[in-house]
Amino acid sequence: MSSTSVQGLADSRIQRRVEHLMGMPISLALRGRHATTVAGDQAWQATINQLRQVDVIFSTYRSDSIINRLDRGELTIAECPAEVAEVLELGREAEEQSDGAFSIMLPTRDGHRRLSPSGVVKGWAAQRAAQFLAALDDTDFCLSAGGDIVCRTADPSRGTWRIGIEHPFDPNTLVAVVPIRTGAVATSGTAHRGAHLVDPRTGREPRGVASVTVIASSLTWADIDATAAYVHGRDAARWLQTRPIRSALVVWADGTTTRLLTDPLSN
């Protein structure tokens, strides 16, 4: 679970919506022309409907999901919806670009590997569903999928979105607040779900790092890169310097931080 939230936005012009699906809260902040219009409501509903469809296909918790049927050999890739091949290809690219620190094939306790593309799906699904919000004329949005955020500012005069990064050792405090106009923020760590991440190359828990936050143009890759960097452990900051991101924040296991700053406000 990510550790980010929208901060300091009590403006009455901002309209908020939230639903729970895919095992996490999906929340939206809208401001601008369609914050309170029927078109805004329709865009939100289209966003939620697409995420529901993603859950039917990719949920690893539903025995009848397409991805679990594929993993059991009941379906071939050709028999699956086109989105499956797209996600599997993203997983292949991510594994290659991360030197194996990211994988959609995860080791199990019995020594086998299972297909688990969740590390790709959340960011990819939110980025993809945000197309309905991006189509709203003169409207800003901030869409959060379990704390991983994609946002847009159509009118810069309305100011930046301010994204709070929770401290991994104390979720009630913030380690940073990131201003962002258009782009994505993803955090990988153990603050909310405990030690759930393993190095797919070894099956062991990463060492030396408490959380990694990545700011990038796309939530798909911000989420992937945050997870991969976390798995790289003590090499997280070094590896992130090789990635096409805007900026990043690494909180180490001893509580110290490393900031890789370029321009989080760039579009």
Residue 252, pLDDT above cutoff 70: yes
Q: Read off the pLDDT of residues 193-219 as tens digits, 9 standing for 90 and up.
A: 555 688 999 989 999 999 999 999 999
Look at residue 175 and give its three-state secondary structure. Answer: strand
Query: What six digits make up the tokens of 39?
Result: 């078109």
Element (H, E) at 212: strand 209-216
Residue 217 DSSP one-character state: S
Task: Tell me what pLDDT residue 156 has.
Answer: 87
Residue 59, pLDDT above cutoff 60: yes
Query: What six digits make up the tokens of 73?
Result: 């050999």
Where does residue 60 rank: exposed (0-12), middle (13-18), buried (19+ CB within 10 A)? middle
Task: Tell me what pLDDT residue 130 has.
Answer: 98
> CB of 251 within 8 A of CB of 167?
yes
Q: What is the mean pLDDT of the chain?
A: 92
CA angle 233, 236, 242 (to 5 degrees): 150
Task: Tell me what pLDDT residue 9 has.
Answer: 54
Instruction: Give backbone dihedrals phi and psi of 40, rounded to 5 degrees, phi first.
Output: -65, -40
CA angle 40, 160, 120 (to 5 degrees): 70
Query: Looking at per-residue confidence, does 263 or 258 come out higher?
Result: 258
Domains and their CATH numbers in the chain: 4-261 (3.10.520.10)
Task: Tell me what pLDDT residue 190 has.
Answer: 74
pTM: 0.91
Q: Read off the pLDDT of residues 111-121 as tens digits, 9 standing for 90 and up.
A: 789 999 999 99
Residue 38, pLDDT above cutoff 50: yes
Q: What is the DSSP annotation of 94-132? A: HHHHTTTSS-SEEE-TTS-EEE-THHHHHHHHHHHHTHH
Alpha-carbon torsion, ordered 237, 239, 242, 243, to 10 deg: -80
Residue 266, pLDDT above cutoff 70: no
Nearest Cα neighbor of 161 from 29, 262, 33, 43 is 29
Name the pLDDT band for 36 (thresholds 50, 70, 90): very high
Q: Read off the pLDDT of residues 161-200 as tens digits, 9 standing for 90 and up.
A: 999 999 999 989 999 999 999 999 999 987 655 556 889 9
